[in-house]
C-alpha cells in the first residue's frame, strides 16, 4: 500500500515567554515549550492511524500541523509527496489542501452558529467555486440525518447530530485524509458508538484515511489499524493495534493500558498512573519518562533513547527487551 | 411572510412585547423620526423660506394670536417670526441625519479596525489599540472640536456652510469609533480561536473572507447595542457642538443651534424659544437610550 502521509522529524516549539518588557524587568530568558519533538511516522492509505497520549502530549499540535493550520518549527509533513509549507507550486498546494479535512473535538464550536447547515456543509466546495446543487441534502442523508435539515441552524441539533454535520462537511470536498481530533470525547457514550460506527462505514465506502487523535484507549482500539503513543511531544512506541494492546513494550504504554478501564475487570483495582506529566518547558534529562518509570536505571537519566525496531514494534526505550517481565 | 412570523416569535420580539418601556420608547422614536423625515409635509411653515416669514410675527407666544397679525403659532415664534414647531421639525432632521450618519461612520470604521486588530494580532493590533487608548484619554467633545477646527481651517470661507454638516459627521464619528473597535476586538479574540474558524482556514479561505463571512456575523449583536446608545450620544454631541457654535451653521439649524439661539432670549421672558427644542432633544435622546438599554438586556443571554 502507498504512503499517504509522511511525518519526518517533526518538531514544533512554542514561545510561551512573557512580553519583552516583563522579561526585561524580571530579567528572565525566553521560555520555549517543545510541544512536538522529532516525531516520525507514516500513515498508509486507507488505514486508520491512532495517536494516543495524555493532555499536553502534543497530539492536537501534530494534527494541526498536518492539516496546515500551524507551521512546523523543524522537520516536515509530506502528504501525497507534497510539503504544504515548502511547496511553491500553488496548484499542488491547493490540490493537496482539498484532499485534507478535519473533524474537531467540540461540535458546539465547530459549526458557525449564524450559518445554515447547507452553507456550512458545502463551504469546502463553494470556497473553490465548485457546484453545490443538492450536495448538502445528499451528504446529510449519507451521515444519517434528513435532507430537510439543510435549512436549519446548528443550534437546532444535539451534540451527536452536530458531529454528523461536521462529518458531512469533512466529506464534501471528497478528501482522502481526515484528521479527527478527539471527535467523540465531547459526546455521550451511547452517541460515541454511533458516530464511530458511522466513521468506520464511511471509511470503507469512500476509501478514506484517518488520523485518529484520542486519549481514549478503548476508542482507539476500536478504530485504529496502527497506533502511536505520544509522551511529552515524543513518539515513544508505535505498533499494529493488536501488537500494541497485547504486548506493549514501553513502560509508559504499559502504564496507560493498566489504567484504562477493562470490560472484564470487575472487582480488580486498576493501578492509577503514577506522577504527573513533567513541565514541558523544562523537560527531564535523558529519557523524558524516567521520573515516572518503574524500571528506570541510571542510563535513562542521561541518555535519551532513540526510536528503534524491536520485533514488529518501534519503541523508544533502552529496556524494551526486558520491560515485559 | 414566514420570516415575519418567525421574527414575531423570536426571543427578542418576545422580550420586546413584555417591556412597556421598550414599546413606548420605540413608538416615540418612530414618531420623531417620521416627523423629521416628513417635515416639509407636516410643518405649517418653511423656516428656511424668507418669503413665508413675517417679522411682525416675531416673539409670538405659544397658542396665543399674535398682537399685530392675529396668526396663532402652536409653540410660538422666535425673534424673526419663525414658527418654533417648524424649526424643531427641520432641526430634528439635521440632528437625526448627523446622528445616524456619524454612528454609521463610527460603526464601519470601528468594526473594521476592531476585526482586523483582533484577527491579525501582533503589531497591527498594538498600533490600532494604542491609538484607541490614547484617544480615550481625551473627552470625545474635545476630539470632535479639534477635528472641526482643523477642517474649518482648511476649507475656503465660501464653502464652509456646505461642508459644515459633513465635517460634523466625521468629527463625531471619529470621536466615537473606539467603543466599536474595543468591543469588536474583544469578541473577535474569542471567535477567532473557535473551531469553525479553523475549519474555514484549513480549506484555504483567505483572512478577509473569514473575518467578513465567519467572524463578523458572530460579533454583531454587541455592536447593535453600542450603535443604539451611540446614536443618543451622537445626537447629544451634535447638539453640544452646535450649542457651542462650532456645529451646524445658522442656515441649517439643528436642535443644538436652536437651543443656542434660544438661550439668548431665556432671561428676557421668551422661554418657549429654548424650551421646546430642548424638550424635543431630551425626549429623543432619552427614548433612544432606553431602547438601547432594553436591547442590551434582551441580547444578553445571561440576563434571561
Give the residue, B175 or A50, on which the prediction is more confident: A50
Three-state secondary-structure class, residue A264: coil
Number of Cβ atoms within 10 Å of the Cβ of A309: 10
Q: What is the pLDDT, as a whole number, of residue A264?
A: 58
The grid coordinates of residue B40 equal 416639509
Domain presence at residue B87: yes
Domain span at residue B245?
19-45+74-303
Q: What is the pLDDT, as a whole number, of residue B140?
A: 76
Q: What is the pLDDT, as a whole number, of residue B3?
A: 66
**Per-residue confidence band for A324, with pLDDT thresholds at 50, 70 and 90:** low
Residues of chain A contacting B211 with CB distance shorter than 8 Å: none
Backbone φ and ψ of B270, nearest 5°: -90, 70
DSSP H helices, chain A, are 20-26, 59-67, 90-97, 117-126, 135-142, 159-172, 189-206, 217-223, 241-246, 251-259, 298-302
Average pLDDT, chain A: 88
Domain presence at residue B61: no
Residues of chain B contacting A97 with CB distance shorter than 8 Å: 202-204
Q: What is the DSSP letter of B268?
A: G
Q: Do B202 and A127 touch (CB under 8 A)?
A: no
Residues of chain B contacting A20 with CB distance shorter than 8 Å: none
Q: Given CB atoms, is B192 within the 8 Å cutoff of chain A?
A: no
pLDDT at A302 over 70: yes
Contact of A223 with A203, CB cutoff 8 Å? no
Q: What is the pLDDT, as a whole number, of residue B286?
A: 94
Which H or E run includes B96?
A: helix B84-120
Q: Given CB atoms, is B217 within the 8 Å cutoff of chain A?
A: yes
**CATH code: domain of residue B209:** 1.10.3720.10
Task: Choose among A75, A107, A109, A136: nearest CA to A195.
Answer: A107
A101 CB contacts (<8 Å, ≥6 apart)? Answer: A67, A124, A169, A170, A171, A173, A175, A177, A178, A179, B202, B203
Q: Given CB atoms, is B301 within the 8 Å cutoff of chain A?
A: no
**Per-residue confidence band for A262, with pLDDT thresholds at 50, 70 and 90:** low
Three-state secondary-structure class, residue A235: strand
Q: What is the pLDDT, as a whole number, of residue A203?
A: 94
Angle of helix B216-243 relative to helix B84-120, nearest 10 degrees? Answer: 140
How do A226-231 and A177-181 pair as beta strands? unpaired
Task: Choose among B130, B232, B224, B234: nearest CA to B173.
Answer: B234
- What percentage of chain A reaches a pLDDT higher than 70? 94
Domain presence at residue B69: no
Interface test with B, best of A106, A108, A109 (most B CBs within 10 A): A109
Domain presence at residue B251: yes
Q: What is the pLDDT, as a whole number, of residue A84?
A: 85
Min CA distance, B205 vs chain A (Å)?
Answer: 7
Q: Do B198 and A101 touch (CB under 8 A)?
A: no
pTM score: 0.83
With cell 414658527, the residue in question is: B83
Q: What is the pLDDT, as a whole number, of residue A276?
A: 74
Q: Do B195 and A105 touch (CB under 8 A)?
A: yes
Q: Given CB atoms, is B3 within the 8 Å cutoff of chain A?
A: no
Residues of chain B contacting A111 with CB distance shorter than 8 Å: 196
Residue of A nearest to B215 (CA): A112
Q: Do B194 and A110 touch (CB under 8 A)?
A: yes
Interface test with A, best of B191, B192, B199, B216 (most A CBs within 10 A): B199
With cell 451622537, the residue in question is: B234
- In the predicted model, residues of chain B with pLDDT beneath 50 are none
Q: Do A101 and B217 touch (CB under 8 A)?
A: no
Backbone φ and ψ of B258, nearest 5°: -60, -40
The grid coordinates of residue A6 equal 509522511
CA separation for the pair A308, A72 (Å, rounded):
24
ipTM: 0.85
Q: What is the pLDDT, as a whole number, of residue A269?
A: 55
Q: Given CB atoms, is B204 within the 8 Å cutoff of chain A?
A: yes
Which H or E run includes B150?
A: helix B140-154
Domain presence at residue B50: no
Contact of A9 with A233, CB cutoff 8 Å? no
**Per-residue confidence band for A143, with pLDDT thresholds at 50, 70 and 90:** very high
With cell 491512532, the residue in question is: A50
Domain presence at residue B5: no
Domain presence at residue B14: no
pLDDT at A228 over 90: yes
Q: What angle do CA A228, A229, A233 make, to 5 degrees?
A: 110
Task: Choose among A275, A322, A325, A318: nearest CA to A298.
Answer: A318
Residues A169-219: tens digit of each pLDDT: 999 989 999 999 999 888 888 889 999 999 999 999 999 999 999 988 889
Domain presence at residue B58: no
Min CA distance, B215 vs chain A (Å)?
Answer: 9
- How many structural domains are present in chain B? 1
Amino acid at each position: 500500500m502507498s504512503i499517504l502521509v509522511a511525518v519526518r522529524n517533526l518538531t514544533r516549539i512554542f514561545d510561551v515567554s512573557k512580553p519583552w518588557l516583563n522579561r526585561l524587568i524580571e530579567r528572565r530568558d525566553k521560555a520555549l515549550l517543545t510541544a512536538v519533538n522529532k516525531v516520525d511516522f507514516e500513515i498508509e492509505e486507507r488505514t486508520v492511524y491512532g495517536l494516543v497520549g495524555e493532555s499536553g502530549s502534543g497530539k492536537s499540535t501534530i494534527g494541526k500541523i498536518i492539516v496546515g493550520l500551524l507551521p512546523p518549527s523543524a522537520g516536515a509533513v509530506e502528504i501525497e509527496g507534497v510539503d504544504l509549507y515548502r511547496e511553491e507550486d500553488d496548484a499542488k498546494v491547493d490540490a493537496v489542501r482539498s484532499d485534507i479535512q478535519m473533524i474537531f473535538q467540540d461540535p458546539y464550536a465547530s459549526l458557525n452558529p449564524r450559518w445554515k447547515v447547507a452553507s456550512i456543509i458545502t463551504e469546502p466546495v463553494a470556497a473553490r467555486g465548485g457546484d453545490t446543487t443538492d450536495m448538502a441534502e445528499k451528504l446529510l442523508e449519507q451521515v444519517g440525518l434528513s435532507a430537510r435539515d439543510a435549512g436549519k441552524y446548528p443550534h437546532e441539533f444535539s451534540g451527536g447530530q452536530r458531529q454528523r454535520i461536521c462529518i458531512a462537511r469533512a466529506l464534501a470536498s471528497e478528501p482522502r485524509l481526515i484528521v479527527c481530533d478527539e471527535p467523540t470525547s465531547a459526546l455521550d457514550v451511547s452517541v460515541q458508538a454511533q458516530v464511530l460506527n458511522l466513521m468506520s462505514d464511511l471509511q470503507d465506502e469512500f476509501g478514506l484515511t484517518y488520523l485518529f487523535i484520542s486519549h481514549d484507549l478503548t476508542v482507539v482500539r476500536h478504530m485504529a489499524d496502527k497506533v502511536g503513543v505520544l509522551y511529552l511531544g515524543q513518539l515513544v512506541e508505535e505498533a499494529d493495534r493488536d501488537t500494541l494492546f497485547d504486548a506493549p513494550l514501553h513502560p509508559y504504554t504499559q502504564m496507560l493500558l493498566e489504567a484504562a478501564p477493562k470490560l472484564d475487570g470487575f472487582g480488580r483495582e486498576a493501578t492509577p498512573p503514577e506522577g504527573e506529566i513533567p513541565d514541558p518547558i523544562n523537560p527531564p534529562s535523558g529519557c523524558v519518562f524516567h521520573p515516572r518509570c518503574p524500571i528506570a536505571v541510571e542510563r535513562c537519566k542521561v541518555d535519551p533513547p532513540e526510536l528503534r525496531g524491536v520485533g514488529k514494534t518501534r519503541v523508544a526505550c533502552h529496556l524494551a527487551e526486558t520491560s515485559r517481565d | 411572510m414566514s420570516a415575519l412570523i418567525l421574527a414575531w416569535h423570536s426571543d427578542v420580539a418576545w422580550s420586546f412585547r413584555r417591556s412597556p418601556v421598550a414599546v413606548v420608547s420605540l413608538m416615540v422614536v418612530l414618531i420623531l423620526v417620521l416627523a423629521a423625515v416628513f417635515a416639509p409635509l407636516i410643518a405649517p411653515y418653511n423656516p428656511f423660506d424668507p418669503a413665508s416669514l413675517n417679522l411682525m410675527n416675531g416673539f409670538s407666544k405659544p397658542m396665543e394670536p399674535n398682537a399685530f397679525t392675529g396668526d396663532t403659532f402652536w409653540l410660538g415664534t422666535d425673534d424673526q417670526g419663525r414658527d418654533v414647531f417648524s424649526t424643531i421639525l427641520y432641526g430634528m432632521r439635521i440632528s437625526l441625519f448627523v446622528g445616524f450618519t456619524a454612528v454609521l461612520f463610527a460603526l464601519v470604521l470601528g468594526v473594521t479596525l476592531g476585526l482586523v486588530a483582533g484577527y491579525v494580532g501582533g503589531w497591527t493590533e498594538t498600533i490600532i489599540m494604542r491609538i484607541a487608548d490614547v484617544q480615550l484619554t481625551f473627552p470625545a467633545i474635545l476630539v470632535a472640536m479639534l477635528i472641526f477646527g482643523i477642517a474649518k481651517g482648511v476649507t475656503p470661507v465660501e464653502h464652509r456652510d456646505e461642508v459644515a454638516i459633513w465635517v460634523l459627521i466625521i468629527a463625531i464619528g471619529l470621536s466615537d469609533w473606539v467603543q466599536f473597535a474595543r468591543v469588536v476586538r474583544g469578541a473577535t479574540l474569542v471567535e477567532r480561536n473557535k473551531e469553525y474558524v479553523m475549519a474555514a482556514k484549513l480549506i484555504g479561505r483567505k483572512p478577509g473572507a473569514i473575518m467578513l463571512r465567519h467572524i463578523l456575523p458572530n460579533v454583531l449583536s454587541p455592536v447593535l447595542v453600542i450603535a443604539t446608545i451611540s446614536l443618543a450620544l451622537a445626537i447629544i454631541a451634535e447638539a453640544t457642538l452646535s450649542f457651542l457654535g462650532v456645529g451646524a451653521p445658522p442656515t441649517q439649524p439643528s436642535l443644538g443651534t436652536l437651543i443656542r439661539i434660544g438661550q439668548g432670549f431665556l432671561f428676557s421672558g421668551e422661554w418657549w424659544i429654548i424650551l421646546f427644542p430642548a424638550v424635543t432633544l431630551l425626549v429623543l435622546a432619552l427614548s433612544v437610550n432606553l431602547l438601547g438599554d432594553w436591547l442590551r438586556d434582551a441580547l444578553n443571554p445571561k440576563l434571561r
